């Protein structure tokens, strides 16, 4: 029997990629249980992780699962109150439900905006301190911290993925460095579900971009082998004229 993976935020963009691109995670041997507050277009469990009563429903849904992929979040800058209830409290509820249900591994969708005030261009190691660029970035840094706590204190295998521009294709010259293709998103999450983990793990998530500056060694150590390169779209993107960092830009999912 295929191991079960609970996917929160299954109706979102990355959730759709994990379900459909190149057969998604199912083609890689995973049975998916979908969770979202909106209908993803196939059988799912309706749970709003921002609600204080979501914990019991999440715990019941995760019973017997091998892992959870936590994507559910507000995917952009918003008010502190909204991000607190969904992205921070919601991540706590997902991890606590996983602990109660005996789930072995949690893969958390973090973001490049957790480190968005580092300048672009220089090699970015995953072990440097967070420098969030927005309240959204703060919420993702908090998610990484929660994953670290549940790993160190409670023994869960927590993998946080600092995802770049995970969209169909890069839109600007800046995106040429941080694009994560739909196909590579599937490969990255599959590696995060399978790869060797020793304590809390934070890795960057981009494709094998010619202009990349993020260090992918941590993701590769999990077994991630990116196959795409944003450079194929170099003649189609717009010129980026903003600051040489992510700070202040609207976050992408």
- 4-233 CATH pick, 3.40.50.720, 3.20.19.10, 3.30.43.10, 3.90.1260.10: 3.40.50.720
Q: Are 83 and 45 in contact (CB under 8 A)?
A: no
How much is the average pLDDT of 212-221? Answer: 95
Q: Are 38 and 9 in contact (CB under 8 A)?
A: no
Q: Which of 33, 11, 136, 25 is nearest to 79 (CA)?
A: 136
Residue 251: both structure tokens together: 């976050």
Task: Give percent of the chain above pLDDT 90.
Answer: 88
Burial class of residue 145 (count of CB atoms within 10 Å of its CB; 0-12, 13-18, 19+): middle
Give the integer Cα–Cα distance in Å for 42 and 31: 14
Question: Is it the case that residue 252 has pLDDT exceeding 50?
Answer: no
Question: Is it the case that residue 139 has pLDDT exceeding 50?
Answer: yes
What is the CA angle 223-195-167, rounded to 5? 60
Mean predicted lDDT score pLDDT of the chain = 94
Q: What is the pLDDT of residues 196-213, one digit of tens each?
A: 999 999 999 999 999 999
Dihedrals phi, psi of 238, to nearest 5 degrees? -90, 155
Give the integer Cα–Cα distance in Å for 191 and 141: 22
Give the integer Cα–Cα distance in Å for 16 and 182: 9
Q: How far apart are the first and last CA of the chain?
A: 32
Candidates 17, 44, 136, 150; catalytic one: 136
DSSP class of residue 43 equals: S
Q: Are 58 and 35 in contact (CB under 8 A)?
A: yes
Q: What is the pLDDT of residues 140-185, one digit of tens each?
A: 999 999 999 999 999 999 999 999 999 999 999 999 999 999 999 9
23-27, 75-79, 158-162, 241-245: least confident range: 241-245
Question: Is it the case that residue 122 has pLDDT exceeding 90?
Answer: no
Alpha carbon dihedral 173, 176, 180, 182, in 10-degree steps, equals: 80
- pLDDT at site 244: 66
Q: Is 136 a catalytic residue?
A: yes
Residue 16: both structure tokens together: 């759709």
- pLDDT at site 119: 82
The residue with greater pLDDT, 183 or 125, is 183
The residues spanned by each domain of the chain are 4-233
Q: What is the pLDDT of residues 7-54, one digit of tens each?
A: 999 999 999 999 999 999 999 999 999 999 999 999 999 999 999 999
Count, residues in the chain: 253
Residue 18: both structure tokens together: 């994990």
Q: Are 131 and 162 in contact (CB under 8 A)?
A: no
Confidence of residue 240 (pLDDT cuts 50, 70, 90): confident
Give the integer Cα–Cα distance in Å for 235 and 146: 41
- pLDDT at site 249: 45
Residue 23 neighbours by CB under 8 Å, 6+ apart: none
pTM beyond 0.85: the answer is yes
- pLDDT at site 125: 83
Give the integer Cα–Cα distance in Å for 61 and 47: 10
């Amino acid at each position: 029997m295929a191991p079960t993976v609970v996917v929160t935020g299954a109706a979102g963009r990355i959730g759709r990629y994990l379900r459909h691109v190149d057969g998604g995670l199912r083609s890689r041997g995973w049975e998916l249980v979908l969770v979202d507050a909106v209908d993803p277009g196939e059988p799912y469990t309706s749970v709003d992780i921002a609600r204080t009563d979501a914990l019991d429903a999440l715990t019941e849904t995760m019973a017997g699962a091998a892992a959870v992929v936590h994507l559910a979040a507000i995917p952009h800058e918003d008010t502190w109150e909204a991000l607190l209830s969904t992205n921070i409290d919601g991540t706590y509820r997902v991890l606590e439900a996983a602990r109660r249900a005996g789930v072995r591994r949690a893969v958390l969708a973090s973001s490049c905006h957790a480190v968005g005030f580092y300048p672009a261009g220089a090699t970015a190691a995953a072990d440097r301190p967070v420098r969030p660029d927005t309240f959204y970035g703060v919420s993702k840094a908090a998610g990484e911290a929660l994953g670290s706590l549940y790993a160190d204190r409670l023994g869960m295998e927590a993998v946080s993925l600092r995802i770049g521009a995970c969209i169909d294709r890069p839109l600007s010259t800046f995106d040429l460095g941080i694009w994560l293709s739909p196909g590579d998103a599937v490969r990255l999450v599959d590696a995060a579900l399978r790869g060797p983990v020793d304590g809390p793990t934070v890795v960057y998530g981009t494709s094998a971009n010619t202009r990349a500056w993020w260090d992918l060694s941590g993701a590769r150590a999990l077994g991630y082998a990116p196959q795409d390169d944003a450079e194929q779209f170099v003649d189609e993107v717009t010129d980026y004229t903003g600051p040489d960092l992510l700070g202040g830009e609207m976050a992408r999912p």
